[in-house]
Chain A
Amino acid sequence: MDLTYSPADQAFRAEARAWLDAHVPAGPLPSLETEEGFAVHRAWEAELAADGWSVVSWPVAYGGRDCGLTRWLVFEEEYWAAGAPGRVGQNGVSLLAPTLFDHGTEEQRARVLPPMARGEVVWAQAWSEPEAGSDLASLRSRAVRTDGGWLLSGQKTWSSRAAFADRAFGLFRSEPDMPKPHQGLTYLMFDLRAQGVTVRPIGRLDGKPAFAELFLDEVFVPDEDVIGEPGQGWRVAMSTAGNERGLTLRSPGRFLASAQRLAALWHERGRDPYTRDRVADAVIGARAYQLFTYAAASRFLDGEPLGPESSLNKVFWSEYDIALHETALDLLGGEGELTDAEGGWGEGYVFSLAGPIYAGTNEIQRDIIAERLLGLPRGRR
């Protein structure tokens, strides 16, 4: 058991820190949930990519540094500690890319990954449908065979950043008569600007067009954009879900930086006695999440799969994030209701509220923990 970094890891940390010191924009960028902000964030991705910092854990051939999980964690700590901007390419980088590494073809990886790494193609996740939320397998959008590809029809919803993104990936029903709902699904990538696609932005809680509804009317997708085998989409998608909840969606570095900012704010505000315990808990929680992730990463590097343990992760960080932001707003008092205040706590709070809903609701995660980690009997679904 040890927490020390190798000299090579430390050198990597120093290199990342030096680069970030020289490049991180001085002030906050406009919100990436707006058209203007989206463009600025895309340019930031390109800047990161130019020096090989946009996807450090990927193979060099696709724009990464092949640096492994430990250094990815190190990079993330430095990234957020430096106050660097939110990542607009996140859906693609943390959800689609791992799926392509596991299930894609070499041709798909070579074609899709480098432009993703440079922020040239930003991806949206098109999983949810109006009638398929937690019960994702009940989805109805169809993929119908046609010459050289498929025709997609139906409706997807709550697709983050789809209003400004370029392409999307999602599940479609290709064999409608299978006995079980998660059979006969196919995982496909499609162009959000293709003929037959209508994108309707939806304002989220603060009105920003952060997600969108997609209407698909016989949208043509070539065979080369099917991920994995047709009909096997559920299996492919579930490996993506593991990544989403597991190690990579919310890095500990992000919460460590937030907890540090909160503690600094608390000191600035005269060590407010009413929030003291909650500030301490935010500090403790960030540390717990960091060390939990180190343990998970160590097991992963030993060759163990992530498995249902990632559900522990998902519930923890989503509830932690809300508690952290609530504490900051309470500490700010009257200023706490401003969403355009300096420090971004108001906007962060709005975003944190969605954490227990997306990436599989926390109720669903608790069911997974109960059944698969505690061995409790299945309940009604």
Chain B
Amino acid sequence: MTTVAAKPATMAQALQRAMRDAMAEDPSVHVLGEDVGALGGVFRITDGLAKEFGEDRCTDTPLAEAGILGTAVGMAMYGLRPVVEMQFDAFAYPAFEQLISHVARMRNRTRGSMAMPLVVRVPYGGGIGGVEHHSDSSEAYYMATPGLQVVTPATVEDAYGLLRAAIASDDPVVFLEPKRLYWSKSSWSPQAPTEVPPIGKAVVRRPGRSATLITYGPSVPVCLEAAEAATAEGWDLEVVDLRSLVPFDDETVCASVRRTGRAVVVHESTGFGGPGGEIAARVTERCFHHLEAPVLRVAGFDIPYPPPMLEKHHLPGVDRVLDAVARLQWEAGS
């Protein structure tokens, strides 16, 4: 348990605070990336870190994602705990070689003798009107790579807690930051202690009896809103925020689905080959006899992320979630 004295007002500030506290506690924590120094990152998540800890601890690198992550691997080999910032989702792709070929499997390659305690922070997802290459949801690629942990906060509190947990983890973490929630505010009491949740624990954001919405990151607020709206139709929806895609919390998810008997997976990345397929399959395998209807998916369309003027048609919103909920009144043979 770590206690935070002052209230972080936004998710951006909570993330910044998490790095700052981790750096203050542990001199081996280093932040590196493009524009993370004087500018504080394009989203200002690393604001002030270079000033407070010096440029050796918070370093503006040359502009080369493979180089950033590759050097972070070497730093981790030598006992540091690098926290790498990728500027935008689609600009992490040059670093995939390092991520997949080395970061993810170093422990395995070395029969456990070399760990990769590093964090790759990736602002991801759409809804902010970003031009091409600024709105991808890449979680399925990361999830498909054994050796990586993949987490994504949906609340200000979790942004702080999960990033602390990620930095403390002895295994690599891809930390996906839902950029449209960067400026979301917390209703969190400043006096409340901040919990550092273990990686791999989902949480029930809203209890309910008639169906479970399984979701994460930017889609959590959408699902909460849909759950409120659904009460008008007599639906009492439970909302499970996964927080961690890898490891996956089968226990919390299945306990919920066994209670409600119905489930919809909601995310904005593409549906085909997307995270929802894996989640639906797991739920079906484990809860088949409890299910009153097939597990449904509400996802982004199977298209390259559209230009900003069309993204509202692509992103799954409350209406699409409610439509899926209506389809849960499924009758065999229909």
A and B assemble together: no
List B residues at the A interface (Cβ < 8 Å).
none
